[in-house]
Amino acid sequence: MSNRVVVDIKDHVARVRLSRPEKQNALDWAMFEQISEAGRSLRVNPEVRAVVLHAEGDHFCAGIDTSVFAAGGIDMDMFKPREDSNANFFQHPAYVWRELEVPVICAIEGNCFGGGLQIALGADIRIASRNARLSVMEIRWGLIPDLGLSATLRNVMPIDRVKELTFTGRIVDGEEAGSIGLVTQVSDSPLETAIALATSIAASSPDAIRTAKRLLNDCWALSDADTLQLEAQLQLKIMAGPNQAEAVRAQMERRPPQFSDAKR
């Protein structure tokens, strides 16, 4: 089996690259498995403080490889949640990025269709080129989006816009995707912009960054009372810890902080 996904870690930033450019990084069985494995490996790596998810070649991901439909091999167990996740086999390559404690930034070029778009939606931040082409394309195959879109997109865009994209399967370019909130930012150089942002995030306290992601992911689905309580609990957990103390010292001493990667 060839390497469909390549992971490199440098200066606390993990770069995860989809590497099947000859097929526009389309999702075959091996790609499903290797994306999930890449995400799982980063979940247990305390050195990583931010992740950049991108692709080799001109396109991020053209969606499901048609060979998946032709080959068969789908059984009902694939639709059951994994033992280590709320997501099933198909959902996990997208949802695993949400499960990471650290921020994930996705750089999007070219085609980003169907399952490919849903993988991008698992990231915390999406940066697209102006000529990128994005689509919730499952309707063209008589299907609904089922790689976690219902969990990842519901707090990103208004429901009417999500419905319109889902019902029509139409393609939007990067500019429109930015204007409707499907992507966070439009850039002439998405990968460079994503790496610069990840590097900036990695320079902050990893305790605060991880806790902030948990707070913001969890609080959107809670009542005001519950989210305020969660906010206070999480703040108490990191307050006066070694990385928070180092952040204060560095500010007072006007020097770059030196944070520990040990999880608290």
Residue positions counted in the chain:
264
- The pLDDT tens digits of the residues spanning 203-215 come to 999 999 999 999 9
- The pLDDT tens digits of the residues spanning 51-79 come to 999 999 999 999 999 877 665 667 778 88
Q: What is the mean pLDDT of residues 244-248?
A: 89
Residue with the larger pLDDT of the pair 264 and 5: 5
- The pLDDT tens digits of the residues spanning 174-217 come to 999 999 999 999 999 999 999 999 999 999 999 999 999 999 99
- Beta-ladder partners of 53: 16, 106
pLDDT for 82 beyond 50 = yes
pTM of the model: 0.89
- The pLDDT tens digits of the residues spanning 7-28 come to 999 999 999 999 999 999 999 9
CATH architecture of 205-253: Orthogonal Bundle (1.10)
Q: What's the whole-number average pLDDT of the chain? A: 92
Distance of alpha carbon 140 from alpha carbon 213, whole angstroms: 34
Residue with the larger pLDDT of the pair 23 and 225: 23
Q: What is the mean pLDDT of residues 33-60?
A: 96
pLDDT for 264 equals 54
Q: Which fold has domain 5-201?
A: 2-enoyl-CoA Hydratase; Chain A, domain 1 (3.90.226)
* Backbone φ/ψ region at 73: left (φ over 0), alpha (ψ -120 to 50), beta: left
Domain with CATH 3.90.226.10 in the chain: 5-201
- Residue 13 burial class via C-beta count within 10 angstroms: exposed 0-12, middle 13-18, buried 19 and up: buried
pLDDT for 110 equals 98
Distance of alpha carbon 171 from alpha carbon 133, whole angstroms: 6
Domain with CATH 1.10.12.10 in the chain: 205-253
Rounded to 5 degrees, φ, ψ at 111 are -75, 135
Helix 242-253 / helix 206-219 crossing angle, nearest 10 deg: 120
pLDDT for 46 beyond 60 = yes
Distance of alpha carbon 179 from alpha carbon 106, whole angstroms: 17
